[in-house]
Chains A and B, each alone.
Chain A
């Protein structure tokens, strides 16, 4: 599979994601947003950052670009589409994923390492995972996932904020997301959005606990 990593103006994590993909053995390329040709790729990642500055609702300007029309085509063809952090916000704003990402309950940016419980194993990222609690950092101001239909949210969720033993409760909810949702996918499982940053948990040297759980997810794109 060949994976495109899209760079919008204001994207900050494209190089990190690219490096992590290489580390995981994935064939990847960074593509500037106007130069994107979806036919050349089997998967696409929208990395984190502040596309167009996020001066309107996070991700909303990027969601209405020509680039996203091409990403939608890929999603419809069943190709893998992943949004990390700002990329998740773009996927929600463009309607490729359901729900909304609201400002954190604390109303401020939060950067910290969290535990995540994996609750869906039918996505390209989580297929074949032999761990059900993983660890990686979050860094966002608008990551509080919300959805009217709680049952549907339960069904779509891929990762939940948890403690190290996989217990999911309000105490370990960093931003006020319903049901502690950190990541959801579409029904088919080929479009996945996640607030945590797997690329930041892909290198032993910079992982404070030596874990490289991010690589476990990215290996699904090989």
Chain B
């Protein structure tokens, strides 16, 4: 197995310990000090996230497997977001499937019942057969696990960019529900508890945390990928929730395997574990392998003596392995024994205190010569932009999105998913990222993705209550990569603070690079959860209704889909958080007063991108350029700028919006017509028949 510790770190270990660690101990330290488990290069900046709020029941600072937010009536939701990028690059089916499994186990380790999954997928362009193979297997893997375990995939994103060709991004978010007073910690608060492991340990996923903490080498790394077994996962889910009130702490065995699970759970106390008592899938595993194997579908429980039998009996009903392997001690040493021999004996303190790194950061602006506004015709640009907007039905029809009978708005139906909660409230949830903008200005991008998620929730009638984030970048030791990382965090922190949507959990994934060592576009991603105020909106498109733009269009074209297609120019869009806030409040009020029949925020593709979602519903649209409130007379930004703070709504009562508006522009910009597929801009008619067909069929055709 490879070790990723640097010579400096190895020297640090020797100095602190006063001796040379043995092989098993090196593997232990390597796993715990891996970037994946220790956040050594990110912790300092992550601390700037707003993590407190009246709804926060369990936040980042509590060092738990997942964060929790109060949703009223004694209930809480548990939120978690993770990626499985490296494994998915090598074995996309198992990589994506185990990503789902890991998220679900993080949620049940809080004693919560998982009720929804979102998946956010980014791969290279589909004209490349390997990218198609990756996407096909990623979607199949998510479906395989999510469907079998009975948790609906209710939303997500699917996007394509050259920078993900070698290194796809596979992000999965999960939501669970739990009674607020029944949340279970992931760490112990007292020594003397017995350690129970359930599930079999195998040879797959050896050194996975360490593998995720370096760039892909191109060598055979399949052994670091874990194998997914959703049937076992389903038993673990059902029985864990059944025994939750009989355990003191629960931890998923994820990155770093047993050694990390035990050390983190001990939380500064110690542990003595007998590796020979761990139930194995294959005979004769070496103790070093048992230590760091990341085999899926395993959990750790910290249990009082008198409950040990009850817990294991519940697993035995389903013939699922359950074993007592040791106990937590007062002496702060992590000890692993094998046949009575001490294999690892290391101070908890050393393992839990990796060195912290703050790397150099440098702004590197790509030099573009002769940057000018591209010359493109109206019809050509409209057609090019809308043909990049695709129905994702090919993907979500492979997911059992109805299981649980709680999915109110189905995938693809609105800008945000909506699910019903056990207390009768409705939860909106949405993931957002914008790598094209992040590549131009990570700080503005960080603000923008939080604002976009806030608008997405508002468009169905919900107000954001909390965020989980995932920061995906290249090698942090590269100054330009680290610069974008620090800037993105600054933007996300600022916007989350502004919207009062505390960040209750997150994840950092570095070393996402292609084979030539070129990093992916910086891809911070957030998932926001919100609650419907009272009424929710189910979109409908009706002939003769007015199309109203809420918000102000600005000549800020950089990072947009238009400039991606035709050439970069212009200013970076600045997110004016207050405009997003005011516009979102107005939309939520209008939904509650039943004054809108359709609402969508303006993002990719600008106004035209939003209008296209009206056209694909079988209607036509008339737009008047002069009525679009804007700081420019140029039609390009009016139609394609992606600056934030804006919505498109359909209404029969535009006066209502004008009366209610505070500090934002409201303007009737057009009408819905009966002319299928015809977009009229002033006097120019553009027939979008073919583009609508492409919208519905492209993914099906290219992926079959």
Contact B150 A12 (CB under 8 A): yes
B420 interface residue per 8 A CB criterion: yes
In the complex with contacts A111-B400, A112-B397, A10-B405 CB distance below 8 A? no
In the complex, per-residue mask of A147-164: 1 if CB is within 8 Å of any chain B CB, else 0? 000000000000000000
Chain B: CB-nearest residue to A9:
B318
Q: Is the CB of B399 within 8 A of A111?
A: yes
In contact, B402 and A139 (Cβ under 8 angstroms): yes
How far in angstroms is the closest Cβ of chain A from B414?
Answer: 11
Q: Is the CB of A34 within 8 A of B317?
A: yes
Q: Flag whether B558 is at the interface (Cβ < 8 A).
A: no
A200 within 8 A of B: yes
**B406/A206 in contact, CB under 8 A:** yes
Whether the Cβ atoms of B148 and A50 lie closer than 8 Å is: yes
In the complex, the chain B residue whose C-beta lies closest to that of A209 is: B538
Determine how close the nearest CB of chain B comes to the CB of A175; give it in whole angstroms: 12
Interface residue from A49, A110, A199 paired with B405 (Cβ < 8 Å): A199
Is A82's beta carbon under 8 Å from chain B?
no
In the assembled complex, which residues on chain B have CB atoms less than 8 Å from the CB atom of A20? Answer: 405
Which range holds the interface residue count of chain B? 20 to 34
Q: A12-B234, A53-B230 are in contact. List 9 more A-B contacts (CB 8 A).
A: A9-B238, A16-B403, A19-B405, A32-B317, A34-B317, A106-B704, A139-B403, A200-B403, A202-B405
Q: Which residues of B contact A34 (CB under 8 A)?
A: 317
Q: A54-B148, A111-B401 are in contact. Are A10 and B406 (CB under 8 A)?
A: no
Q: Which residues of A contact B143 (CB under 8 A)?
A: 108-109
Q: Are B234's CB and A110's CB within 8 A?
A: no
Determine the distance from Cα of A197 to Cα of B398 in the docked complex, in whole angstroms: 16
Q: Note all chain A residues with C-beta closer than 8 A to B408.
A: 205-206
B147 at the interface (CB under 8 A from A): yes
Residues of A within 8 A of B407 (CB): 206
- The interface residues of chain B lying within 8 Å CB-to-CB of A48 are 403
Shortest CB distance B243–A (Å):
15
- CA of A10 to CA of B149, assembled, Å: 7
Taking the complex as formed, is B260 at the interface, i.e. its CB lies under 8 A from any CB of chain A? Answer: no
Distance (Å) between the CB of B401 and the closest chain A CB? 6
Task: Give the interface centre of B150, B405, B406, B410 by most chain A CB atoms within 10 Å.
Answer: B405
B271 contacts A by Cβ under 8 Å: no
A111–B405 touching, CB < 8 Å? no
Give, as a whole number of angstroms, the nearest-CB distance from B308 to chain A. 22
A203 on the B face (CB < 8 A): yes
Contact status A50-B405, CB under 8 Å? no
A206 and B419 CA atoms in complex are apart in Å by 8
Interchain residue pairs A-B with the least CB separation, the first 3 = A53-B231, A12-B150, A50-B148
Residue on A nearest B403 in the bound complex, by CB: A12
Interface pair A10/B147, CB less than 8 Å apart = no
Contacts of A109 in B (CB 8 A): 143, 147, 397-400
Q: Determine whether the beta carbon of B149 is less than 8 Å from that of A197.
A: no
Task: Determine whether the beta carbon of A206 is less than 8 Å from that of B405.
Answer: yes
Q: Which residues of B contact A202 (CB under 8 A)?
A: 405
The reply to whether the CB of A52 lies closer than 8 angstroms to some CB of chain B is yes
Interface string of B29-57 (1 = CB under 8 A from A): 00000000000000000000000000000
Q: A206 to B420, Cβ gap below 8 A?
A: yes
Check A208/B231 contact, CB under 8 A, given A16-B403, A19-B405.
no
**B571 at interface, CB cutoff 8 A:** no
- At the interface, yes or no: B235 with Cβ under 8 Å from chain A? yes
Q: Are B405 and A139 in contact (CB under 8 A)?
A: no
CB of A137 closer than 8 Å to a CB of B: yes
Q: Is the CB of A9 within 8 A of B231?
A: yes
Give the size of the chain A interface in residues (CB under 8 angstroms). 33
Q: Can you list, as one digit per residue, whether each of A1-27 has a CB less than 8 Å from chain B (1) or not (0)? A: 000000001101101100110000000
Q: Chain A contacts of B396 at CB under 8 A? A: 111
- The residues of A that contact B410 with a CB separation of less than 8 Å are 208
Q: CA A199 – CA B406 in complex, angstroms?
A: 11
Complex-state Cα separation, A19 to B317, whole angstroms: 25
Q: Which of B421-440 contact A (CB under 8 A)?
A: none
Instruction: Please determine whether A137 and B402 come into contact, CB atoms closer than 8 angstroms.
Output: yes
Question: Would A10 and B148 be within 8 Å (CB), given that A205-B408, A206-B407, A206-B408 are in contact?
Answer: yes
A-B contact pairs, 7 of them (CB 8 A): A12-B149, A16-B404, A19-B405, A112-B397, A139-B400, A139-B402, A205-B420
Q: Which residue of B lies closest to A199 (CB)?
A: B405
Type the 1/0 row for A55-94, where 1 means its CB is closer than 8 Å to any CB of B. Answer: 1000000000000000000000000000000000000000
Known: A10-B234, A109-B398, A111-B398. A50 touches B147 (CB 8 A): yes
Once the chains are docked, how many angstroms separate the CA of A54 from the CA of B234? 12
In the complex, whether B413 has a CB less than 8 A from a CB of chain A is: yes
* Shortest distance from the beta carbon of A182 to any chain B beta carbon, whole Å: 16
On whether the beta carbons of A53 and B148 are closer than 8 Å, the reply is yes
Complex contacts, A54 vs chain B, CB 8 Å:
148, 231
Question: How distant is the Cα of A34 from the Cα of B408 in the complex, in angstroms?
Answer: 34
Distance to closest chain B CB from A131 (angstroms): 21
Q: Mark A191-222, 1 if CB is under 8 A from B, else 0.
A: 00000010110110110100000000000000
Give every chain A residue within 8 A of B238 (Cβ-Cβ). 9
> In the assembled complex, how far is the CB of residue A120 from the closest CB belonging to chain B, in whole angstroms?
25
Task: Point out the residues of chain B lying under 8 angstroms from A206, CB to CB.
Answer: 402, 405-408, 420
- A13: which of B403, B406, B420 is its contact (CB, 8 Å)? B403
What residues of chain B lie closer than 8 Å to A16, measured between beta carbons?
403-405
Q: Which single residue of chain B is at the shortest CB-CB distance from A53?
A: B231
User: Which B residues between 197 and 240 are near A, CB-CB below 8 angstroms?
Assistant: 229-232, 234-235, 238
Kindly state whether residue B96 has any CB partner on chain A within 8 Å. Answer: no
Q: Does B614 contact A (CB under 8 A)?
A: no
Interface residues of A in 107-132 (CB under 8 A from B): 108-112
Measured CA separation A48–B232 after assembly (Å): 17
Q: Which of A16, A49, A111 has the most CB of B within 10 A?
A: A111
- B232-252 CB mask vs A (1 if < 8 Å, else 0) is 101100100000000000000
A108 to B398 alpha-carbon distance, docked (Å): 7
Complex: A197 Cα to B235 Cα, angstroms: 23
The answer to whether B196 has its CB under 8 Å from any CB of chain A is no
Docked complex Cα distance between A134 and B229 (Å): 36
Neighbouring A residues of B401 by C-beta, 8 Å: 111
Whether B235 contacts A9 by the Cβ 8 Å rule is: yes
Q: Is B140 interfacial (CB 8 A cutoff)?
A: yes
Complex: how many Å from CA A49 to CA B148? 7
A15: chain B residues within 8 A (beta carbon): 404
